[in-house]
Chains A and B, each alone.
Chain A
Amino acid sequence: MPETRKTPMLDQLLDGPFPSFVKEIKKGAEKNDACNDLLGQLELSYEEKITHWKHGGIVGVTGYGGGVIGRYSDVPEKFPGLTEFHTMRINQPAGWFYKTDRLRKLLDIWEKRGSGLTNFHGATGDIILLGTHTDQLQPVVDDLAHEGWDLGGSGSDLRTPSACVGPARCEWACIDTLDICDTLTRRYQNELHRPMWPYKFKIKVSGCANDGVAAKARADFSIIGTWKDNIQINRTEVINYVNAGFDIIGQVVDKCPTKCISYNPVTKSLSIDNSNCVRCHNCINKMPKALRQGKITGATILIGGHAPILQSAFMSWVIVPFMEMKPPYDEVSELLEKIWEWWDENGKMRERVGELIYRLGMRSFLKATGLPAVPQMVLHPRTNPFYFWDKEEVNQ
């Protein structure tokens, strides 16, 4: 093994209270040339204030079109360990739950065949295995398959779905986020592993309006748990909060966005006009022991969220105000498949589904999916009179 790289700049990131990523790479450098070279190349990037990774790289494994991100150093003569340094995305279990014996097997395989460096996790949810050679890709995938770990998504495919912790450890899960995430991931393995679409498509599942996986902002198709009936009030617990000095007027009543919650200090009773509640979740967040969601639960489905490239950042918007979410989730699957068919047929290269809806109009999207137009889809109706009519709608 060559001498350990000198890294005076990176060494300054070893101190301080937050755990140091430099310490992590150095752990690898003691065992592995590639990690040692990664330290060297990163130090060079710190000196020159520029990346030293070459553009792009198409690598993969037999049978799949996605899941591996090719990466090559642009200074391989200086850092031969980084001549090939590809990332592999491994599909995480829903909710990022791990049992140590299962995880250790993955770690052993990665130490044997890769750099030993990881990300837990990538933003989309995958386990990221950071850095290996092209000739190791297939062996890694084969070894991992033997232990029950499959690749995640990349490229113009269904990306790895992810979900909040849900019913496994949260009283606010209106839907079984983990089962929905797991079921859709398994049902659409082909769409996930073999890119065949205009661009990427992400699904995220949050159990309530707190949106623990940021589904509205970070998924094309956002499934967010909600309820239809009344918030359940435990009057004894309300009194307990008040007696403990909780500012129920300031933190709950005054902050209710629709002013549908009121508190009577004489009777110490809280009442909610549920027909005007928008289920923002603030009052429940503030008084989890006293307030619980309704019992008729399901999901609101939103579409179109993505980062700014190309037509500005979008947050997903409502397309189905309420959908029941019971296994085997056929209703949501039917909707997904209709959307994919329309998008695949009409989408331009690298056009996210939200941008396609923006280009062709909600009218076209609703026709393709059969969804009815409802006021819950908009913040307000349009302000201009420039709308389309179909030929059948006008007098001939």
Chain B
Amino acid sequence: MVKTDFGPPKYLDMMSDLCKRNYGKWKYHEVLDTGTLVHVAESGEKLYTVRAATPRLMHVDTLRAFCDLADKYCGGFFRFTSRHSIEFLVEDEANIEPLKAELHAMGYTPGGVGNTISNMLHTQGWIHCHTPAIDASGIVKSVMDEVFEYYKEAKLPARLRLALACCLNMCGAVHCSDVAIVGVHRVPPKVDDEKISKMCEIPNVVAACPTRAIRPEPAKKSVVVNEERCMYCGNCYTMCPAMPIFDPKNDGAAIFVGGKVSDARHPAMFSKLAVPYIPNEPPRWPTLVKTVRLLIDVYAKDAKEGERYGEWINRIGWEKFFKVTGLPFTDKHIDDYIFSVPTFRSTATFKW
């Protein structure tokens, strides 16, 4: 009989005695540098954390190398963060520098703590998904290489979260990140009338369209797409393999800015459209990378200390944002989806 429904390993079995002893009894923490934190317990005991970003996609041998480091320096314990970074939990202060040196030699530079760019949340892309408009890992590698100084050194006004989703399903956190890349299509799906009656449930396909651009075509046992109403979200393809929407000449990325999930100072915010389209340029995506860099550099220079990206834009106004970034404002930026009117400016107070 197969064993089922027993759930994950208990978290307490994965934790050092020091963590268990001081569980729920931490007093304060300090950022020692961009790769290191210290947490001090009520008992006076200290736990040091060494953090490093990972590419998220890792071979078992790399994870075994992390296990070796944890055995050598951390009594066999480590964890991952909600942003795919690895954290070594060090009890002996003397182990911090040797651990960092070994991590660095492995190609994993500690960083991402404090007012930095931490690891970039991302998705599967061309490595393992059937609906992407862009790759994930290749763009993340290219962007993180470009902005690596912001990961290593705390020289931003506040922390900056980067995220990427390879299609409009927006898996992950692109709708709530400071700077976010989303894969977009620009042409309607192609309907394969032959296949559709065999492979798809037509009412579900019709219901999958947020703009009601799809109607049944009973004569052909197929559907018709009203191309004027289609904004290429690809949700019909998710439901129906006979409606592929890919177009290498037209697929690409949009950039959104100004989202956050923390409630500190200003409540959580959605990210908003900054750049409607940049084409795919593998393997290094130079235009996209250059634009992300520009968006980060302008914020780093202009925002006040303690201001997240969205708070900065709220203060200066979007008209000023487009001026200082030099990015064009287009008809694409004006919302025409489901709840658009509250985004229009019903006041004459704005900047020239």
**Residues of A bordering B, CB below 8 Å:** 9-10, 12-13, 15-25, 27-28, 35, 38, 42, 45-56, 62-64, 71, 85, 87, 91-104, 107-108, 110-111, 116-121, 123, 130-131, 141-142, 145-146, 148-150, 162, 164-165, 167-171, 173, 176, 178, 182, 185-186, 189-190, 193, 209-218, 247, 250-251, 255-257, 278-282, 285-286, 288-289, 307-313, 315, 348-350
Contacts and interface: CB of A to CB of B under 8 A. Distances in A.
Contacts of A93: 8-11, 13-14
Nearest to A161: B8
Contacts of B287: none
B176 A17 contact: no
Nearest to B125: A51
Given A107-B63, A169-B89, A313-B270, A10 B7 contact: no
A20 B55 contact: yes
B169 A24 contact: no
Interface stretch (B92-100, B128-136, B291-299): B128-136
B141 A21 contact: yes
A16 B141 contact: yes
A20 B132 contact: no
28 contacts: A24-B55, A46-B126, A49-B251, A50-B126, A63-B4, A92-B8, A97-B11, A116-B59, A117-B59, A119-B58, A121-B80, A123-B173, A142-B2, A145-B4, A150-B5, A150-B7, A167-B25, A168-B15, A169-B19, A169-B26, A193-B5, A211-B261, A214-B261, A251-B305, A280-B265, A286-B306, A308-B170, A310-B210
B326 to A, nearest CB: 26
Contact of A167 (B23, B63, B259): B23
Given A173-B24, A211-B263, A315 B270 contact: yes
Contacts of A49: 248, 251, 280, 282
Contacts of B132: 51
B137 A21 contact: yes
A91 B11 CA distance: 11
Interface stretch (B70-78, B214-222, B317-325, B344-352): B70-78
Given A46-B283, A92-B8, A217 B261 contact: yes
Given A107-B60, A121-B56, A310-B235, 17 more contacts: A16-B142, A23-B107, A85-B128, A103-B63, A111-B60, A118-B63, A120-B80, A141-B2, A145-B2, A162-B82, A210-B262, A211-B268, A218-B172, A307-B169, A309-B168, A309-B210, A350-B208
Interface in B246-293: 246, 248, 251, 259, 261-268, 270, 280, 282-284
B186 interface: no
A18 B145 contact: yes
Contacts of B140: 18, 21
B337 to A, nearest CB: 6
Contacts of A209: 262-264
A362 B47 CA distance: 45
Contacts of B131: 51
A12 B145 CA distance: 12
B53 interface: yes
A56 B241 contact: yes
A308 B168 CA distance: 8
Given A123-B172, A182-B8, A210-B264, A118 B338 contact: no
B74 to A, nearest CB: 9
Interface residues of B, number: 112
A217 B262 CA distance: 10
Contacts of B129: 51, 53
A230 to B, nearest CB: 18
Contacts of A22: 141
Contacts of B155: none
Interface of B: 2-11, 13-15, 19, 23-30, 39, 47, 49, 53-64, 67, 70-71, 76-82, 84, 86, 89, 107-109, 121, 123, 125-132, 135, 137-138, 140-142, 144-145, 148, 151, 168-173, 175-176, 204, 207-208, 210, 233, 235, 237, 241, 244, 246, 248, 251, 259, 261-268, 270, 280, 282-284, 305-306, 337-339
A51 B141 CA distance: 18
Nearest to A52: B126
Nearest to B121: A123
Contact of A216 (B55, B135, B261): B261
A107 B49 CA distance: 24
Contact of B7 (A16, A116, A189): A189
A119 B264 contact: no
Given A46-B282, A93-B10, A211-B262, A25 B57 contact: yes
A363 B170 CA distance: 29
Contacts of A282: 264-265
Contacts of A308: 168, 170, 175
Contacts of B84: 119-121
A98 B79 contact: yes
Contacts of B13: 93, 99, 102
Contacts of B282: 9, 46-47, 49
Given A24-B59, A100-B67, A107-B63, A315 B305 contact: no
B63 A148 contact: no
A234 B223 CA distance: 67
A116 B60 contact: yes
